[in-house]
Chains A and B, each alone.
Chain A
Amino acid sequence: MRNLLTRLKRRWSDTDRARTDGGVDSTASFWERDVVRSAPFWLPPFLLIGLFVYGAVLWNIVLSLTSFTGLGSPDYGSLSLENYVIAFQGGVPSWSELTVSPIWNSAWNTVVLMVTFSVVCLALGLILAILVDQQIRFENTFRTIYLLPMSLSFVVTAKFWLYMYNPQTGLINIAVQSLGFQPVEIVQNPDLKLAAVAFALIWQFSGYAMIVYLAGLRAIPTGHFEAARVDGASTIRMYWRVIIPQLRTATVSALVVLTVFSLKAFDFLFSMYGGYQPGPSADILATRMVREAYANGNWAYGSTIAVILFVMALMIVTPYIYSQYKRGEL
């Protein structure tokens, strides 16, 4: 106990850390302390974020405990976990006469999409990065082309791929037909929907994975490649055993960004299906949430789903930020 108190006291007292603190902090007046003098710089942004981001998140959590259905104002007086029960079990909530289904379907789709999308993106990005790293000519051109899809809005991507997937005029089906098969319905096909969505998203984001891996590859000293060669490793073995293990940091950072992106893939589905109803086999938590809130008017329930989505993101992001902090890389 005493140790803890001493440590707490030290943390807040005026003795200095083992790094320079800019001088006269400990003995200067309040207004001269660095934390105060720098406040005009970081405080407004911080307040902005505090209000709009964190304030909104907290408010959302509170809303999820109400039975708000869009009429009037939410009743903050009676809070309950009813929505969460419905989310996990389904049933008839107190604020509606219809049965509300649980979120398992959307959750499952979300996870499937997330995993497929991330893994394939990383794999594709890695291969591309390795190829681009081979001292090719026109490297800049290739890189720009691979990165181009990322510049597009989800809406634009959806339009392009709707076109590509079109049963009559889409390039995919033209190719299929030229091979002798019947044209396939893709976009409305429950079996292929999710895959089609994943494919389009991979098209859009693998360029990002490539960039991250490229930077990672370039950070590995030449010596490693050469030593592996001298040790007799074939190219594939060299990459597999020496290089790829060193790309762990790059993988983790790209993975975190990609998975969180996939949690947000709402924009794409909305544009693809012109609404909040992509159909059960492509319904992800994001679309479910917006549908419940805006189309069905079940605002509080929408908030509930949003909280679940938020927690999922948190579970991915917190270990990442923590490990970055511990390693001093923040």
Chain B
Amino acid sequence: MSHETATPDDTTTRSLLGYPLRRIGLYLVLGAMAAFYLIPIETGLMTAITSPETYTGTHPYLPPLEPLIPGTGEFSLQPWGTAFEGLQSGLVNSLIMVIPATILSGLLGSMAAYGLTTISWRGQIGIYILFVAGIFIPYQAVLVPLTQFWYNVVPLRTLFEPIALTLPFVQEYHWKLVALTITHVAYGLPICTLLFRAHYKKLSDEMIEAARLDGASIYRIYRRIILPLSIPMFAVVFIYQFTQLWNDLLFALTIVQFGDAAVVTQELVGIGVSQSGTNFPLRMAAALLAALPTLLVYIVFGDKFAKGVAA
């Protein structure tokens, strides 16, 4: 229990090495669960550092310690090199798409939450409900229209061509990433708005009133008071959105389809499958490589995220 002190009845009975048996049991279970959650990743990692030639698959959870333990294969970083080559353009494309989309959906979400929460006006709850409902829309329900929209209705491709020709580093196929970015911003707005709203509801009403009395306009209140106070929430929103967008497959498949603009999740699907059977080390290395950014974000910022979700 969050708040109970040591269980006094157990310290006197049934103890092992001075620690109550119950406590040991607890840690065992927790440890076992941790193992359960980590094993697939760990196995993947072990496999990914095995050279594909010597890979046997007999003890995937062990690191490659040939010839010490037969059958585990030899250590090699080659899968990573191959994986990187294969995923390279996907990684770049993902970055190009995810970073602006995350920043935009965070900013717009904060602004929307401000306009719907801190400033109160009649009917705003109705508008907000429309935002919230948007969180739960299954993406399948909009795939066909989205394809139609970006390919047949809005001539983004043709509009983008001149930009591609004039600016360096910008390729023609990047128009697909622009389309994907915009789509993701639109679909990410509901959850971002919800998160910011929860945060803004907790701000002191009197403080905002004081600011109004002090002569600050609605815009100034946002810029000088709300925005600085939103920074903790921006962290949560960015982490969440970054993960969501980096990991998305469905919209990428729909809007980018395949080709030069494919993002990392798309490229990951096909990697490692060839005529001569599956190259597991390559697959695992690729999977880990693709997952690296989000894994890192979670490990480093996991706390902040957990707090935000609890809101």
Of chain A, the residue at the smallest CB distance from B110 is A41
**Does residue A7 face the partner (Cβ distance < 8 Å to B)?**
no
How far is the CB of A313 from the nearest CB of chain B, in Å? 5
Q: Are A136 and B122 CB-contacts (below 8 A) given A39-B115, A147-B306? A: no
Q: Are A155 and B144 CB-contacts (below 8 A) given A135-B4, A143-B306? A: no
Asked if residues B120 and A21 are in contact (CB atoms below 8 Å), the reply is yes
Chain A residues numbered 1-51 whose CB sits less than 8 Å from any CB in chain B = 17, 19-23, 25, 33-35, 37-46, 48-51
Tell me the complex Cα distance, A45–B130, Å. 11
Using Cβ atoms and an 8 Å threshold, which residues of chain B touch A217?
A: 2
Q: Are A145 and B121 CB-contacts (below 8 A) given A155-B290, A302-B144? A: no
Using Cβ atoms and an 8 Å threshold, which residues of chain A touch B131?
A: 45-46, 49
Asked if residues A163 and B43 are in contact (CB atoms below 8 Å), the reply is yes
**Does residue B238 face the partner (Cβ distance < 8 Å to A)?**
no
How far is the CB of A158 from the nearest CB of chain B, in Å? 8
Chain B residues numbered 122-161 whose CB sits less than 8 Å from any CB in chain A = 122-125, 127-134, 136-146, 148-149, 152
* Interface SS, B side: helix
**Does residue A117 face the partner (Cβ distance < 8 Å to B)?**
no
**Does residue B269 face the partner (Cβ distance < 8 Å to A)?**
yes
How far is the CB of A70 from the nearest CB of chain B, in Å? 10
Using Cβ atoms and an 8 Å threshold, which residues of chain B touch A19?
A: 120
Chain B residues numbered 94-136 whose CB sits less than 8 Å from any CB in chain A = 108-109, 111-112, 114-116, 119-125, 127-134, 136
Q: Are A48 and B138 CB-contacts (below 8 A) given A155-B268, A330-B125? A: no
**Does residue A151 face the partner (Cβ distance < 8 Å to B)?**
yes
Asked if residues B37 and A149 are in contact (CB atoms below 8 Å), the reply is yes
**Does residue B34 face the partner (Cβ distance < 8 Å to A)?**
yes
Asked if residues A310 and B141 are in contact (CB atoms below 8 Å), the reply is yes
**Does residue B284 face the partner (Cβ distance < 8 Å to A)?**
yes
Using Cβ atoms and an 8 Å threshold, which residues of chain B touch A44?
A: 108, 111
Using Cβ atoms and an 8 Å threshold, which residues of chain A touch B21?
A: none
Contact indicator per residue, chain A 82-118, by CB within 8 Å of chain B (1) or not (0) = 0000000000000000000000000000000000000
How far is the CB of B105 from the nearest CB of chain A, in Å? 9
Tell me the complex Cα distance, A146–B33, Å. 8
- Chain A interface size, under 10 / 10 to 19 / 20 to 34 / 35 or more: 35 or more
Using Cβ atoms and an 8 Å threshold, which residues of chain A touch B268?
A: 153, 155-156, 159, 271
- Chain B interface size, under 10 / 10 to 19 / 20 to 34 / 35 or more: 35 or more
**Does residue B57 face the partner (Cβ distance < 8 Å to A)?**
yes
How far is the CB of A126 from the nearest CB of chain B, in Å? 13
Q: Choose one: A42, A53, A303; the contact of B134 (CB below 8 Å).
A: A53
Tell me the complex Cα distance, A227–B3, Å. 12
Most interface-central of A33, A42, A55, A302 (chain B CB within 10 A): A42
**Does residue A191 face the partner (Cβ distance < 8 Å to B)?**
no
Tell me the complex Cα distance, A55–B149, Å. 11
Using Cβ atoms and an 8 Å threshold, which residues of chain B touch A157?
A: 40
Q: Choose one: A48, A131, A143, A309; the contact of B186 (CB below 8 Å).
A: A48
Listed A/B pairs (14) with beta-carbon separation below 8 Å: A22-B120, A35-B124, A38-B121, A41-B111, A44-B111, A45-B108, A136-B26, A145-B38, A153-B294, A156-B291, A208-B309, A267-B249, A286-B140, A325-B125
Name the 10 nearest CB pairs between A and B, nearest first: A169-B57, A41-B115, A42-B115, A153-B247, A215-B310, A222-B3, A52-B186, A151-B298, A56-B142, A310-B141
List residues of A whose CB falls within 8 A of some B CB. Answer: 17, 19-23, 25, 33-35, 37-46, 48-57, 59-60, 63, 73-74, 128, 131-136, 140, 142-157, 159-161, 163-164, 166, 168-171, 174, 203, 207-208, 211-212, 214-215, 217-218, 222, 225-226, 229, 256, 260, 263-264, 266-267, 270-271, 274, 285-286, 289-290, 293, 299, 302-303, 305-307, 309-310, 313, 316-317, 321, 325, 330
